[in-house]
Structure 1
């Protein structure tokens, strides 16, 4: 091998090493959430040195204090924290929060800390160890291979999983609906009624009901999810099975629902949604908030990172739920098969888009 070939091979080898150890980024992030590091720096109120951080970690074993800087070094590299020069004479830099840090603060309304905990819980990481075995068996998902039952069978059996999952999804919903109401308010104009299908405990439904007092909003989810939740004002809760029936309304909202399901089940859900919006006044529609996979290898670095996140979500949906993320052509095929005539896609939610589908 000549020198050029050796250098190319060494770069390729480093690429492989990087992906072998990529899980360390995720687990370091989980460790930061476990230790509450973002909250500690936030409460400190100013840049925090590693010495101050070590002193503020109440459960830290003394023999591990010398390793905190190593954890912070990878978290700074990953963009979850930053370092800032302190006043003259102070030898140490201080750690400060970044935009990403806000999503690690446990009491922030947009916090994803509960999802960091649940999605990196062994219950959801174990199926990845069996991905290769799953490709060789007849199980519907690697989750079934790992646990002997589906995610939907399992999640309500383990409060350790479902409670943080609900909290994390509620946090995500707050950000999405705030963006929708702020930048895409016209989505809800002209509507008198709306059903939030798969609306969980009603974070999105309540926000819409508050923003549009004239709009009768229904949160529709499984009976065990909405049991005990109280109707109030123009918001009510209804239990049922979206594969079998969806309450009638001018519009049906599906926020991050369809990516959980395979094409056959998505078709059943969309057909029920079409029935639900076709009985009212002209202008009924289905509003979908979901990923539309992009393919653009010449995109900017930021766009390529967004595409990578979409692809990671696709693999996550496959492994845990048997669902998938879809390209526009796949969405269009589903809409046509369900009997819809037209749709529009507006990519205004980062890696997700608003899709409006019309009967």
Structure 2
């Protein structure tokens, strides 16, 4: 007997209305990014902090030295960002007061929150078409396979070099490897890092390799299960694996490096400075 065709369930009116709201939300999310960039450039998080952690719109306009005519526009931006969780909003006596949230705490100038550095550069870079142009003193070279580099148009900002990281790495003050090594076996990682070591000057001259990759926690933490899932994913899809700090230390040593520092653990990711 042929299996009966499964009857489709038509969404309810309420579900369709929610779907319409989600459709518009996903289509217009870029407006949140633009508003986010505007608030960061104005210095709204730091201003709220300097005003004691809470500020009304008139307070912000005055502290930011904005023309009073800009208040309605600021209101609309802050209303969106409060809805998105960048700020919190309290409405008492018909006066809206804005407060910091964990997101905006990370955007305070000259204020380190529990060791977390200011994240403003990330926001500005992620919301800018010209994020590399913001740091003209930095000369950036990107190494990739010829079939990739050949399709990248020159922009005068980044120098693209075709090559193979197993054979050579262009000379640099520092080499950055982000979420690359976990795709490779321990033996291949040693080969890659050995080429990186050849490309940089001595530690006394400021040479280092910056490795950003997954660091598996030895104890159960909020990201521990996710890290183990990532490890199995590497086992299925690549020759690599996710490593704990001891594994990374052994690889750095085998590649000929003298020392390293685990600077920061950002969720599942760790940031290492590795020294020749």
Same fold (TM over 0.5): yes
1:181–1:228 Cα change, 3 Å: farther
Q: Write the deviation string for residues 300-352 of structure 1: whole angstroms up to 9, x where unpaired.
A: xxx1xx11111111111111111101000000001111111111113343221
* TM-score of the aligned structures, taking structure 2 as reference length: 0.55
Q: Distance in 1 between matches of 2:244 and 2:176?
A: 20
Deviations 1:138-187 (A, max 9, x none): xxxxxxxxxxxxxxxxxxxxxxxxxxxxxxxxxxxxxxxxx9995497xx
Determine the C-alpha separation between the residues in 1 that align with 2:14 and 2:156.
58
**Alpha-carbon separation, structure 2, partners of 1:327 and 1:184:** 29
Residue in structure 1 matching 2:162, options 235, 239, 264: 239
Residue in structure 1 matched with residue 191 of structure 2 by the alignment: 268
Q: 1:263 to 1:222 in 2, by over 3 A?
A: same
Cα deviation, 1:104-160, whole Å, max 9, x if unaligned, reads 958968xxxxxxxxxxxxxxxxxxxxxxxxxxxxxxxxxxxxxxxxxxxxxxxxxxx
Tell me how many residue pairs correspond in the alignment: 180
For residue 248 of structure 1, what is the aligned residue in structure 2?
A: 171
User: Structure 1 residues 65 and 338, CA, compared in 2 at 3 Å: closer, same or farther?
Assistant: same
- CA offset digits 1:222-247 (Å, max 9, x no partner): 11011132332331111111011000
SS in 1 for 2:194: helix
Cα RMSD, aligned residues only? 3.8
Map of 1:355 onto structure 2: 272
Q: Which residue of 1 aligns with 2:257?
A: 340
Is there any run of 5+ residues in structure 2 with no aligned partner, and where?
A: 1-5, 31-106, 108-115
C-alpha distance in 2 between matches for 1:284 and 1:339: 14
Question: Cα distance, 1:210 vs. partner?
Answer: 2.6
Q: Is the 8 A contact 1:288 1:355 kept in 2?
A: yes
Whole-Å Cα distance in 1 between the matches of residues 27 and 141 of structure 2?
A: 29
CA offsets per residue over residues 237-258 of structure 1, 9 Å max, x none?
1111101100000011111000
Match of 2:239 among 303, 315, 322: 322
SS of the counterpart of 1:293? coil
Q: What stretches of structure 1 of length at least 5 have no aligned partner?
A: 1-62, 70-89, 110-178, 186-202
2:210 to 287, 290, 314: 287
| Change in 2 beyond 3 A, CA 1:338/1:231 | same
Runs of 4+ in structure 1 off by over 2 angstroms are 90-97, 104-109, 179-185, 206-211, 230-234, 278-281, 346-350
Output the CA distance in 2 between the equivalents of 1:268 and 1:243.
6
Measured after TM superposition, the shift of residue 92 of structure 1 is 7.0
Distance in 1 separating the partners of 2:241 and 2:131:
27
More helix by proportion, 1 or 2?
Answer: 1
Mapped contact 1:270–1:338 kept (Cα < 8 A) = yes
Query: What is the TM-score normalised by the length of structure 1?
Result: 0.43
Query: Which whole-Å CA distance do the structure 1 matches of 2:165 and 2:28 have between them?
Result: 32
Q: Tell whether 2:252 aligns with 1:309.
A: no
- 5 Å matches for 1:1-359? 66=9, 95=18, 105=26, 183=119, 209-278=132-201, 282-297=205-220, 299=221, 303=222, 306-359=223-276
User: What is the DSSP-based 3-state SS (H/G/I as helix, E as strand, rest coil) of the residue aligned with 2:225?
Assistant: helix
Shift of 1:267: 0.3
For 2:166 and 2:238, the matched residues in 1 are separated by 16
- Offset at 1:95? 3.9
Instruction: Answer whether contact 1:250 1:280 (CA < 8 A) is retained.
Output: no
Q: Is the 8 A contact 1:289 1:354 kept in 2?
A: yes
Change (3 A) 1:348 1:295: closer
